[in-house]
Structure 1
Amino acid sequence: GSRSAALQLDTGDASAFDAFVTTLRDTLREWGADRFDYLVNNAGNSHHNRIENTTEAELDALYNIHFKGVFFLTQKLLPLIRDGGRIVNVSSGLTRIIVPESGPYGSMKAAVETLTRYLAKELGPRRIAVNVVAPGAVETDFSGGIVRDNPEMNRRIGEMTALGRPGVPDDIGPMIASLLSEDNRWINAQRIEVSGGLAI
C-alpha cells in the first residue's frame, strides 16, 4: 500500500544535486506533497590506506562522498524537509575504534558527527532532530564484503564484540527507523553506536 521512487544520485558529485532536488520536487508533486519527513544520509565507500600513503585523489574522493556530499545535499534539501522532521547521518565505529589504515575514512566520519551536532542546533527552531548512527563491523558488501565473506575476519570481529558476532544489516536498520519515529522524538544531537559492544 506504499508508494516509492528510486531516484539516481551520485553523492560524490555536488554539481548533480540541483537537478536531483528538481526531480525530487517533481516526484513529490506527483504524490500531492511539497515536503518530506526524513532524510537518511547513508551513502559511502570504503578506504584502507595509511595516512602517510593516502594520495590527494583518495582523500578528495572520501571528502566528496562522506562530508561534502552530506553537507551540501542536506543543505539543498532543507527547504523540502517538513518542520518537525528528522535527519539521520550514518557514521562509523571507526571514529571511536582506531584501526590501522582507517585514519582518512574515520576522520571524514568524525567530521560528519560534528556536523550533526551543529545541524541539530541550527535546525532546533524548526523542531528537526538530527542524530548520527555509527555502525560497527557489519556483514555487507562494504569493503569488498570482507566481514561477511572472510571467515577469519568474521571470527576475529566476533571475538572483539561483547555480543559475540559481527553486525548484520537488520541490526542497523531498526535503530535508524526508531530515530525517525515519534517514540524517540526527544533524542537529538546524539551519536549512537550500533556495534554489539565492539572493542569495549
Structure 2
Amino acid sequence: MYVVMAARALEGKVALVTGGSRGIGRAIAERLARDGAAVAVAYARDEVAASETVARIRKDGGRAFAVRAELGRHGDAARLWAAFDAEGGEYAPGGRLDIIVNNAGIGRSSSLASLTEEEFDEVFAVNVRAPFFIVQQGLTRLRDGGRIINISSGAARLAMPEIIAYSSTKGALDTFTLNLAKELGPRGITVNSVAPGIVDTDVNASWLRGDPEAEAHAASLAALGRVGQPEDIADVVAFLASDDARWVTGRVIDATGGAGL
C-alpha cells in the first residue's frame, strides 16, 4: 500500500514576519512554517522570545531563523534586510523571498487632547513608515506571484477616539494596501490587509486576562461571542499567503469575529 503525502501549501516558499516573536506574529510564523515556508522571525528587542519561536518551529520540523531589527527609526528597513541576508543565507538564497507579513506594531491609548507629538511620531513610524520602506526596499527581493499581507485592525473602521492615533495608522496601512495591490498586480503579487479585533495576547493581558468581567465584555463585542485567539488571525494570513487566495487582492479581510455588526 502506498501513501501519497499531500504537498504543503507553502512548500519551498520563504516568508518574513515582522513582530514574529510573540502573540499574533508568533502564531503567523508557526502556521506559515507548518505550511512549508522557511520563516524569518523578525523582532525588535526580545531575543529570548524570538529564539523560542524559532525553536518551536524547528521542533515541529519547520524551518526558521531570527532577524533582529528595531523598527521606528530612520534606516530601520535597511537594517532589517541586512540582518535578513546575514542570518538567512541557508534559507533564502540570494535574499529572495515570497511572502512579507507586516505584523509589527505598537499602540497608543492617548486621546486627541492628551497625545503628544512624540507619541504620534512613534506610532506612525512603527505602524506605517516601517512597513512602507520594508516593502519598498524588499520589492526587488519579492518573487513574482508573491504575497504582501499587512496586519491592520478593526479599529480602522470603528470610531474609537481613545485610540485615535493608533486607528489612524491602521487606516493608513489599509490605504497602502489598496495602492500596492494596484501597482504590483502586473507582477502577480497580491496585497491584502487582515484586520483583527480584540485578541488574547500579551499586549492585552494587563486588562483582559484574569478579569472575568473584562473578558465577558470583550467577548460580547464580537458576533461570535468570544475573544479572538492568535491562531484565528494566523489562519486567515495562511489563506492569503496560499495559492487559494490568488484572486484576492487590495482587500481588508475582517477578522474581528463580527465586532461592531
For the criterion TM > 0.5, the same-fold answer is: yes
Residue matched to 1:108: 169
Structure 2 residue corresponding to 1:42, chosen from 73, 82, 103: 103
Structure 1 residue corresponding to 2:189, chosen from 105, 115, 128: 128
Residue matched to 2:55: none
Partner Cα distance (1:145, 1:77) in 2 = 35
2:71 aligned with 1:11: yes
**AA of the residue aligned to 1:11:** L
Q: Which moved more, 1:92-101 or 1:78-87?
A: 92-101
Q: 1:90-169 alignment to 2 at 5 Å?
A: 90-169=151-230
* Alpha-carbon distance, 1:26 to partner: 4.0
**AA of the residue aligned to 1:4:** A
Runs of 4+ in structure 1 over 6 Å off = none
Partner Cα distance (1:127, 1:166) in 2 = 35
Structure 2 residue corresponding to 1:23, chosen from 83, 91, 94: 83
* Alpha-carbon distance, 1:53 to partner: 1.3
Partner Cα distance (2:249, 2:233) in 1 = 18
Q: Which moved more, 1:142-151 or 1:187-196?
A: 142-151
Question: What SS class does the counterpart of residue 6 from structure 1 fall into?
Answer: strand
Structure 1 residue corresponding to 2:249, chosen from 184, 188, 194: 188
Measured against aligned partners, the alpha-carbon deviations of 1:142-187 in whole angstroms (never above 9, x if no partner) come to 2454334432221112122211111111111100011000111111
Q: Which moved more, 1:145-154 or 1:38-47?
A: 145-154
* Alpha-carbon distance, 1:99 to partner: 2.3
Q: Residues 138 and 148 of structure 1 are in contact (CA less than 8 Å); yes or no, is this contact kept in structure 2?
A: no
Q: Residues 134 and 194 of structure 1 are in contact (CA less than 8 Å); yes or no, is this contact kept in structure 2?
A: yes
Partner Cα distance (1:31, 1:73) in 2 = 19
Q: Residues 113 and 191 of structure 1 are in contact (CA less than 8 Å); yes or no, is this contact kept in structure 2?
A: yes
Task: Give the TM-score of the pair, scaled to structure 2.
Answer: 0.72
Partner Cα distance (1:57, 1:33) in 2 = 39
Task: Give the TM-score of the pair, scaled to structure 1.
Answer: 0.93
Partner Cα distance (2:139, 2:192) in 1 = 15
**AA of the residue aligned to 2:75:** S
Question: What SS class does the counterpart of residue 51 from structure 1 fall into?
Answer: coil
* Alpha-carbon distance, 1:18 to partner: 1.7
Aligned Cα root-mean-square deviation (Å): 1.6
Q: Residues 102 and 151 of structure 2 are in contact (CA less than 8 Å); yes or no, is this contact kept in structure 1?
A: yes
* Alpha-carbon distance, 1:22 to partner: 2.4
Query: Cα distance 1:107–1:24, how it changes in 2: closer, same or farther (>3 A)?
Result: same
Q: Residues 140 and 148 of structure 1 are in contact (CA less than 8 Å); yes or no, is this contact kept in structure 2?
A: no
2:124 aligned with 1:63: yes
Q: Which moved more, 1:3-12 or 1:176-185?
A: 3-12
Query: Cα distance 1:49–1:31, how it changes in 2: closer, same or farther (>3 A)?
Result: closer
Q: Which moved more, 1:14-23 or 1:189-198?
A: 14-23
Question: What SS class does the counterpart of residue 53 from structure 1 fall into?
Answer: coil
Query: Cα distance 1:144–1:14, how it changes in 2: closer, same or farther (>3 A)?
Result: farther
Sequence identity percentage:
38
Residue matched to 2:141: 80
